[in-house]
Structure 1
Amino acid sequence: MHIHSSLLAFATLTVVTVSLSAQQPAAPKHEDTEVYEPVPPIVTPGATDSAPPSDAIVLFDGKNLDQWVSTKDKSPAQWTVADGILTVSKAPGSGNIETKHSFKNYQLHIEWRIPTNITGTDQARGNSGVFLASTGTGDAGYELQILDSYNNKTYVNGQAGSIYKQAIPLANPNRKPGEWQTYNVIWTAPTFNEDGTLKTPAYATVFFNGILVQNHFELKGETRYIGQPFYKKYDTAPIKLQAHGDHSEPISFRNIWVRELK
């Protein structure tokens, strides 16, 4: 009788031990957190940071304006190309220019230069802009401001590196007039519901001369000179360069390229 009881107790203990053992998770392995697909596409970087990578769409390579049209009527862009540089035209009616193609989400590289002999103060000192999405004629869209902010006082949400009238830049890394400045931008376009209401807002991350000045800033809507920003439904849009018209000498651009992002 004593032996039977001992065997029964042993059997019960064995069952409980096996049951508890079955409930214990297996020891983690390094393979559990290793992912092999999808494999990222190979992109060959440019020879320099300003040179376009292999998957970029070159918008201006110093040769012509084949990728650009007039914002006003979509006719060929009339700005000046000389010595590998694109310069705002002084010709009456030349106006803003924008890309022939439309974009949604992208990475943009663009270099710009304020003339050495710039005059004026405040907003009338090398004023221009990169419209990250051009949603109509004139100045409709979402503007990243260009201005001589090296030694020029103005409202801080309108200085170089600002999302115009919305976001103050995190720093002022401007170089002197006559020196080349660089914007590297990540643009996340807004999305909309079928009825035109906003689904997700736009975001902009901007590096200005290698310095972060906009850190995934959530835009409140399109640029407005007067009044509050608001969103209007669109899907894709061109990138626009502004001919502001109130600077003494025209602003110049070079090395413009874009990478489309999903």
Structure 2
Amino acid sequence: MLRPFFSIVVAVVLAGAAWGQNDPITPKKKMQLFNGQDLSGWQMCLPGSDVDPGTVWRVADGVISCSGTPFGYIRTRNAYTNYRLHVEWRWSGKPGNSGVLLHISGPDRVWPKCIEGQLMSGNAGDFYSIGGTTMKERPEGGRHIPKKKESSEKPVGDWNSYDITCASDTITLVVNGVEQNRATATSVSAGMIGLQSEGAPIQFRNVYLEPLR
């Protein structure tokens, strides 16, 4: 995910550059982030003013489909903290790169300040520190924290599950029931949640939050 940074134009309606406009929400019950019908509650963030958002992100049959180009992301309009996030994904074409962006804060850009739960094919469960975020496990001078076990991803075209627990300054990544990684002493513990467009067609469904157990 080591990519250059680009200036960004927020598609549709600019919802604000920083999550700090509203206090982060701590889920008290299950919260659907994706309603299965449209991208209500999400903000599209794409580079350039000549990009048609409908060619990058669309919703049909309860699934979010992303073309993968250009690079960018969608993010929740609200910020969240202390939750369990469930996301399902699959590659709808040749597998490639994507990710789940956690604790997004600051201005929208490619890429924003956050911690990424990697979805690159074969590497789901890796962490990336982006925009100066840190964690105890981050190597000196590096941003990549590899997963701890062999890949637990399913064959290309099958649906996978990501269960991500964000509890205070600890983030745990579970891929298809296998705990792949854990970050501790993270420098961020609240923010918006994003899904990446990063070069390959990918689909998402069943995106929701649950309270910590």
Q: Shorter-normalised TM-score: what interval? A: 0.5 to 0.7
CA contact (8 A) 1:56 1:257 kept: yes
Moved more, 77-86 or 136-145: 77-86
Instruction: Give the Å deviation of 1:188.
Output: 2.5
Q: 1:131 to 1:90 in 2, by over 3 A?
A: closer
Q: What is the alpha-carbon distance in structure 2 between the residues aligned to residue 148 and residue 167 of structure 1? A: 13
Change (3 A) 1:237 1:71: farther
Shift of 1:71: 3.4
Question: 2:121 aligned with 1:148, yes or no?
Answer: yes
- Shift in Å, 1:212: 1.5
Paired with 1:92 and 1:132, the residues of 2 have a C-alpha distance of 20
1:98 is matched with 75
Aligned sequence identity (%): 30
Residue of 182, 207, 213 corresponding to 2:161: 182
Q: Which has the higher helix share?
A: 1
What is the TM-score of this pair, normalised by structure 2? 0.67
Residue in structure 1 matched with residue 205 of structure 2 by the alignment: 254
Q: 1:187 to 1:128 in 2, by over 3 A?
A: same
**TM-score, length of structure 1 as denominator length:** 0.55
Shift of 1:58: 0.3
| Equivalence for 1:29 | none
Structure 2 unaligned residues grouped into runs of 5+: 1-27, 48-52, 129-143
- Write the deviation string for residues 120-144 of structure 1: whole angstroms up to 9, x where unpaired: xxxxx42000011112422221000
Query: Which of 238, 249, 257 pairs up with 2:192?
Result: 238
1:87 aligns to what?
65
8 Å contact from structure 2 (residues 46, 70) kept in 1: no
- Once the two structures are TM-superposed, the CA of residue 217 in structure 1 deviates from its matched residue by 2.7
Q: Name the aligned partner's letter for residue 107 of structure 1.
A: R
Unmatched runs of 5 consecutive residues or more in structure 1: 1-53, 119-124, 150-158, 190-201, 222-230
Q: CA RMSD in A?
A: 2.7
How far is 1:61 from its partner? 3.2
Q: Is the 8 A contact 1:171 1:212 kept in 2?
A: no
The residue type equivalent to 2:119 in the other structure is I
Match of 1:134 in 2: 104
Partner of 1:169 in structure 2?
A: 148
Partner of 2:84: 107
State the distance in 1 between where 2:170 and 2:86 align.
17
Distance 1:91 1:129, change over 3 A: closer
Aligned to 1:213: 180
Shift of 1:251: 0.5
From the superposition, tell whether residues 128 and 161 of structure 1 become closer, same or farther in structure 2 (CA, over 3 Å).
same
Q: Which has the higher contact order (CA 8 A, sep 6+)?
A: 2
Structure 2 residue 14 is matched with structure 1 residue 63? no
For 1:89 and 1:186, how far apart are their aligned partners in 2?
27
Distance in structure 1 (CA, Å) of the matches to 2:118 and 2:69 = 23
Q: In proportion to residue count, which structure has more strand?
A: 2
Secondary structure of the structure 2 residue equivalent to 1:239: strand
Please tell me the residue identity of whatever aligns with 1:203. T
- Give the whole-Å Cα distance in 1 for the aligned partners of 2:124 and 2:70: 26
Query: 3-state DSSP class of the match of 1:237?
Result: strand
Distance in 2, Cα, partners of 1:145 & 1:235: 18
Cα 1:104–1:148 change in 2 (3 A) is same
Structure 1 residues 91, 205: CA separation in 2 closer, same or farther (over 3 Å shift)?
A: closer
AA matched with 1:146 = L
3-state SS in 1 of match to 2:43: strand
